[in-house]
Amino acid sequence: MADVPKELKYTREHEWVRQVEGGRIVVGITDHAQRQLGDVVYVELPKVGETIEAESPLGSIESVKAVSEFFAPVGGKVLKVNAEVVDDPELINTEPYGDGWLIELQPSDAKQLNGLMDAQAYLKYIEEEANG
């Protein structure tokens, strides 16, 4: 069973969102997503300062199985990218909710966060997807 921390929000594209001080959010891919991908070997992240729209592609994650895009859970401005994960992509596999985070965003509209799933809804979603 995938690890789904209760304090995070989730997207249908399997990204997680952690709210931090100042209304900023940290984004990564879920444990479920990294398990589906397999061993991650390369990560491409957006540029700091880039303004992105909700649900638009932010970058890509390449594993031994496939290359997958990851998406913006909300619109906003990229404040930070995780250079560690570029140098050591395996962090996504070993610590998807910790050092394997991908970017930090300043949301342009915090209300967009209300449209994300809580842990219970995300667990139900991945169960339905698996049985679908």
The pLDDT tens digits of the residues spanning 42-100 come to 999 999 999 999 999 999 999 999 999 999 999 999 999 999 999 999 999 999 999 99
Cβ contacts of 99 within 8 Å, gap of 6 or more: 82, 84, 85, 91
- Judged against a pLDDT cut of 90, whether residue 115 lies above it is answered with yes
Model confidence, pTM? 0.95
Q: Which domains does the chain have, with CATH numbers?
A: 9-127 (2.40.50.100)
